[in-house]
């Protein structure tokens, strides 16, 4: 197993453009999470899926953000009409279901977004 993969690793875009990030979780993990990390801060929860169902979204996830996990495997996070405040590291993580193991997340290396 290659762990959690994220693509692209770095994206530079102009304000107002749309961007999409992809995450491939560990295959036997049915939970998938998106977090955002800005400089000097810890990761902040954005949303999570169990299989293909999106079960919770943070208030941080404005209507310009949309996440999908269509077949319960990989996930995409799209940001429409990007703003400079969206510049951050977007981290994907996955975990098993049930018990304390569901709290132990395996993170990908992240996708860094820079909005000019």
Partner 1 sequence: DQQVKQNSPSLSVQEGRISILNCDYTNSMFDYFLWYKKYPAEGPTFLISISSIKDKNEDGRFTVFLNKSAKHLSLHIVPSQPGDSAVYFCAASANAGGTSYGKLTFGQGTILTVHP
> Which residues bind to partner 1, rule: CB under 8 A?
4, 31, 33, 40-45, 48, 50, 55-56, 91, 93, 95, 98-110
CB 58, CB 46: distance < 8 Å: yes
Q: Which residue shows structure tokens 């977007």?
A: 90
* Nearest approach, Cβ of residue 81 and partner 1 (Å): 27
Tokens for 92? 């994907």
Q: How many CA atoms lie within 13 A of 11 on its CB side?
A: 25
Cβ distance to partner 1 smaller for residue 84 or 103 = 103
Give me the least distance between CB of 15 and partner 1, in Å please. Answer: 26
For residues 71 and 86, give the distance between their C-alpha atoms in angstroms, rounded to a whole number: 27
Toward partner 1, which CB reaches closer, 14 or 100? 100
Cβ-based nearer residue to partner 1, 11 or 108: 108
């Amino acid at each position: 197993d290659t762990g959690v993969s994220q693509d692209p690793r770095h994206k530079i875009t102009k304000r107002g453009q749309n961007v999409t990030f992809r995450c491939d979780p560990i295959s036997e993990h049915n939970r998938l999470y998106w977090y955002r990390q800005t400089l000097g801060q810890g990761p902040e929860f954005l949303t999570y899926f169990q299989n293909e169902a999106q079960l919770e979204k943070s208030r941080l996830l404005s209507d310009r953000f949309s996440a999908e996990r269509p077949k319960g495997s990989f996930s995409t996070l799209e940001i429409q009409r990007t703003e400079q405040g969206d510049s951050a590291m977007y981290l994907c993580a996955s975990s098993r279901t049930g018990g304390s193991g569901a709290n132990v997340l395996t993170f990908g290396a992240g996708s860094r977004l820079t909005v000019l």
